Chains A and B, each alone.
Chain A
């Protein structure tokens, strides 16, 4: 063999060995390095899970009355894969179905579109699940109609009817509680991708908001799963697992159906009263808290929605309304998501501040019609000169000018626009001692954090807005170029990061940039009522298995203590009682047989409504009772509701009437919701058949 041939042979040999090595390397990658990934992929090709959903646990009130339960329903479902294969993409089928079920074709069409398929802004009522799940059109179909559909399967290709368990909110005493309970719905793709760390199956239903999502892991139970291995023709070759469903655990809450229903009615009445008096009254919230534990006894938000609508089949109109500004966004839980200026209810903070700053709470102060703060005169409420008075009286009649003077003096003492390196900041510190910027910690999703307009807030606000104000002429619209606004912008550009005199003065009467949630204010008043303990708000009491064994108890948790002298707290309690005896709350509570302590608030709101009218005042009434040994805090807020007393104060009286069993000006014996003077501590027996005890009228 010549050398050339020998060399060529060697080259060929090397080439071929390299080819084999390449195969070997690729094989190693596929089987060893990426093996687990491919094993999962293979599993999803070969195996099919047949999921038998577990019965969802009940949600009950403190006496065991169901707020959420299950009932048998008949679902009519559409298989998107099947109807998409039809020539008309299922239009005919959906039209026939709409006629049969007496629904709108438009709704059925929208309900069967995946949310991802629809353009932004037109997603209302879309299907949040995947294409591979049968999409329910309704879950409470008439059996006769379901039978017609099944019998005429040739005119209804891809449509099926099957019995399902549906979530039902029984609404005893017309209770709604939608914002607390939430609702259930289909899994989304991100749930399936284990976005929240849980493993789900396509056909499962999960909690979407409220308690239903918060305690979903307990309520959901474990679905039964039969996994089968299939071949290419989808015929089953063998069964690889078969587990029975495990029913979900029940959730016992501290709510009381009767009180919740009463709070909802009182809130709605308050809103309507506000409207009758000529106010916009577009929203509201009411909270009842056990101030010795922080447990929530009732929590209402207005406007609300029907939590049963989802299982019945949400129409496009219903879905749009939920988030519609015109309908005041019923989906919003105002009690914990609504942020409003607390107005005069915030003066309890100013009392704590004044006491810390060394003001004598028992001395006499003057309440003039206005106070000169720098170049601006700040008016008393209604510009009234009330003369001299002690501070209890000042709280009772809700004098503003006392606080303007103290806040302005303290602001000057702290260095005014050139603050000292360590200012006293009595007002900010008093507010912080109520833990305003910390969440209430309620066991419900998406709580908003209340905001304190202190020095740190001003700095961060300035960072975000200085560009706008310092280039106001270029950035602002023509309509915004009025001389007043131009001057304001110039001021904001120069010292927008500083707490100005006006800010300090506004802060002392709960106006300006400080905003709180109704729930936060409830927590603050509860702390005053109980002597200074700030409790975390809690709805859940326990999780109980279907056989009655307790899985977990939720014990109240202290978030902190109010840093105020006991004498200051005593003073606050006395003053708040005086409000109801002789002050702004006296008229509303005239003749009420239970001693109530509270504070009215009428908060100014800037801006305009969508229809162009100026926004009306926020109506507040924050309270606790009985005054001698307080046990409950009740707070009501009506957005654009007008005066604190006449709109919300009356509502709060209504709630106390139910709570203490008051009719007219008399306590009806045996009518109090909690005969022992406190909410039940023992866990109730749980049965879907439990009905609420009718409060004696």
Chain B
């Protein structure tokens, strides 16, 4: 039997049983998060838009469209055996890097909140190549670190350096935008993948030291813009600036805190309705949950995330395939750090950066990317015994 025939058979079989092979808990949790997110996006925008004579359902409709597109993409990802995805990885990676270059070209990239991170598409849609680059990096690194062309137990130094190069090029392009939140999340995912790949511990320690040093140099040498230094300073002293980033962070904390134990009720939050927190439907969406659903509701969202991450770990542990495990680990690390960065920023634990909350924030690129990530997890789960 030729290798091609075997692959084709495998492909057919997977397609027949693919939905069967999904992790039902993961599916349910993601479904719940998408549902809650839809309500929150609606609650965040309805009153303000209606009151200002605009369509109150504008964001709701577009959010649903984003979810539907995302689900189609996620399904598509699960259909192809992830082991075959390796073949497409170079193209995916190349497309990501190309996108990151395009956003930097004046006239093509759109600048929002001081970062050139978006490509404007017709119809008012925008795409954020950095979101897709995350997937490219995770798959690319996993591929390099899981291939064994020798008898070694773990990846060689060469493998590690190659994988770091795969990450470094897009990361450098994102630093130029600049989008430090995404850089932070990708770096965390990169270190996690390398740590789990079985390399000697000195690599991990060295990378962590490099990250600290890099951050220090970046602030000192002015690679990070003044805008970002401001954000960092207001994180240290939230009362320093009453109208800028400090104002936003304080408003966010007040809004979350004012929800109390049970919240003000969905669609019934005066802080949200008065739009005192900026970027309410995107980066600060957790404030809407905090105010309207209270500790019970927003704590519930945290628990859903925890279950989701634990399912991811479970899949990573059960698979026999090193590539699948590294992909799972990368996806989990990406989700976990992005959740931590976003909610941590809202609650005043992390500095202010513009990263969306997975499955909940309004925003196409992030929604597509995170759902593709879920597709990857389901893909590995479906083929645990394959």
With A2-B153, A22-B349, A232-B276 known as contacts, the answer to whether A39 contacts B51 (CB < 8 A) is: no
- Scan B15-37; emit 1 where CB is below 8 A from any A CB, else 0: 00000000000000000000000
Q: Report the Cα distance A38→B256, complex, angstroms.
A: 8
Q: Report the Cα distance A55→B261, complex, angstroms.
A: 41
- CB pair A16–B255 under 8 Å, yes or no, is no
- Scan A21-32; emit 1 where CB is below 8 A from any B CB, else 0: 011101110111
With A39-B257, A42-B255, A229-B274 known as contacts, the answer to whether A9 contacts B154 (CB < 8 A) is: no
B152 to chain A, nearest CB (A): 11
- CB pair B306–A20 under 8 Å, yes or no, is yes
A393 to chain B, nearest CB (A): 78
A19 to chain B, nearest CB (A): 5
- CB pair B195–A11 under 8 Å, yes or no, is yes
Interface residues on A, range: 35 or more
Would you call the interface of chain A mostly helix, strand, loop, or mixed?
helix
Among A24, A42, A231, the residue within 8 A (CB) of B258 is A42
A194 in the interface, Cβ–Cβ < 8 Å? no
A178 to chain B, nearest CB (A): 43
Which B residues touch A9, using CB under 8 A? 196, 313, 316-317, 325, 329
With A13-B313, A231-B275 known as contacts, the answer to whether A35 contacts B302 (CB < 8 A) is: no
Which B residues touch A35, using CB under 8 A? 257-261, 295
B178 in the interface, Cβ–Cβ < 8 Å? no
Which B residues touch A27, using CB under 8 A? 256, 290, 295, 298-299, 302, 343, 347
For window 376-409 of chain A, which residues contact chain B by CB distance below 8 Å?
A: none
- CB pair B317–A31 under 8 Å, yes or no, is no
For window 151-196 of chain B, which residues contact chain A by CB distance below 8 Å?
A: 153-154, 192, 195-196
- Scan B53-66; emit 1 where CB is below 8 A from any A CB, else 0: 00000000000000
- CB pair A23–B344 under 8 Å, yes or no, is yes
Among B192, B274, B325, the residue within 8 A (CB) of A46 is B274
- Scan A221-249; emit 1 where CB is below 8 A from any B CB, else 0: 00000000111100101000000000000
- CB pair A41–B347 under 8 Å, yes or no, is no
Among A2, A20, A26, the residue within 8 A (CB) of B198 is A2
- CB pair B298–A31 under 8 Å, yes or no, is yes
Q: Report the Cα distance A46→B47, complex, angstroms.
A: 15
- CB pair B340–A23 under 8 Å, yes or no, is yes
For window 319-368 of chain B, which residues contact chain A by CB distance below 8 Å?
A: 320, 322, 325, 329, 332-333, 336-337, 339-340, 343-344, 347-349
Which B residues touch A629, using CB under 8 A? none
- CB pair A30–B347 under 8 Å, yes or no, is yes
- Report the interface size for chain B: residues with CB under 8 A from the other chain: 55
- Scan A1-20; emit 1 where CB is below 8 A from any B CB, else 0: 11011101101110011011
- CB pair A237–B290 under 8 Å, yes or no, is no
With A2-B153, A38-B256 known as contacts, the answer to whether A16 contacts B332 (CB < 8 A) is: yes
A37 to chain B, nearest CB (A): 7
Among B51, B260, B275, B313, the residue within 8 A (CB) of A31 is B260
A34 in the interface, Cβ–Cβ < 8 Å? yes
A494 in the interface, Cβ–Cβ < 8 Å? no
A695 in the interface, Cβ–Cβ < 8 Å? no
A45 in the interface, Cβ–Cβ < 8 Å? yes
Which B residues touch A13, using CB under 8 A? 313
B253 in the interface, Cβ–Cβ < 8 Å? yes
Which A residues touch B344, using CB under 8 A? 22-23, 26
Which residue of chain B has its CB nearest to the CB of A28?
Answer: B295
Among A8, A23, A43, A231, the residue within 8 A (CB) of B195 is A8
Among B51, B256, B260, the residue within 8 A (CB) of A237 is B51
Which B residues touch A1, using CB under 8 A? 317, 320, 322, 325
Q: Report the Cα distance A42→B277, complex, angstroms.
A: 11
Which A residues touch B348, using CB under 8 A? 26, 30
B102 in the interface, Cβ–Cβ < 8 Å? no
Q: Report the Cα distance A2→B154, complex, angstroms.
A: 9
Which A residues touch B305, using CB under 8 A? 20
- Scan A193-237; emit 1 where CB is below 8 A from any B CB, else 0: 000000000000000000000000000000000000111100101
- CB pair B196–A8 under 8 Å, yes or no, is yes
B334 to chain A, nearest CB (A): 11
Most buried by A among B270, B306, B317: B270
Which A residues touch B271, using CB under 8 A? 42, 45-46
A34 to chain B, nearest CB (A): 6
Which A residues touch B299, using CB under 8 A? 24, 27-28
B72 in the interface, Cβ–Cβ < 8 Å? no
Which residue of chain A has its CB nearest to the CB of B319?
Answer: A1
Among B51, B254, B291, the residue within 8 A (CB) of A41 is B254
- CB pair A5–B298 under 8 Å, yes or no, is no
With A1-B325, A9-B313, A20-B340 known as contacts, the answer to whether A26 contacts B254 (CB < 8 A) is: no
A370 to chain B, nearest CB (A): 75
With A41-B254, A237-B51 known as contacts, the answer to whether A232 contacts B275 (CB < 8 A) is: yes
Among B192, B254, B275, B347, the residue within 8 A (CB) of A42 is B254
Q: Report the Cα distance A24→B301, complex, angstroms.
A: 10
Which B residues touch A5, using CB under 8 A? 154, 196-198, 322, 325
For window 246-293 of chain B, which residues contact chain A by CB distance below 8 Å?
A: 251, 253-261, 270-271, 273-276, 290-291
Which residue of chain A has its CB nearest to the CB of B336?
Answer: A16
Which residue of chain A has its CB nearest to the CB of B340?
Answer: A19
- CB pair A4–B275 under 8 Å, yes or no, is no
A488 to chain B, nearest CB (A): 58
- CB pair A12–B196 under 8 Å, yes or no, is yes
Which A residues touch B329, using CB under 8 A? 9, 12
- CB pair B270–A23 under 8 Å, yes or no, is no
- Scan B89-126; emit 1 where CB is below 8 A from any A CB, else 0: 00000000000000000000000000000000000000
Which A residues touch B309, using CB under 8 A? 16-17, 20
Q: Report the Cα distance A28→B261, complex, angstroms.
A: 9
Q: Report the Cα distance A611→B339, complex, angstroms.
A: 77
Which A residues touch B339, using CB under 8 A? 20, 23
Not counting A27-B343, A38-B258, a sample of 4 additional A-B residue pairs whose C-beta atoms are within 8 angstroms of each other reads: A1-B325, A9-B325, A27-B290, A31-B261
Using a CB–CB cutoff of 8 Å, the interface residues on chain A facing chain B are 1-2, 4-6, 8-9, 11-13, 16-17, 19-20, 22-24, 26-28, 30-32, 34-39, 41-43, 45-46, 229-232, 235, 237
A-B contact pairs, 13 of them (CB 8 A): A1-B320, A1-B325, A4-B154, A8-B195, A9-B325, A22-B349, A23-B340, A27-B347, A38-B254, A42-B271, A45-B274, A46-B274, A231-B274
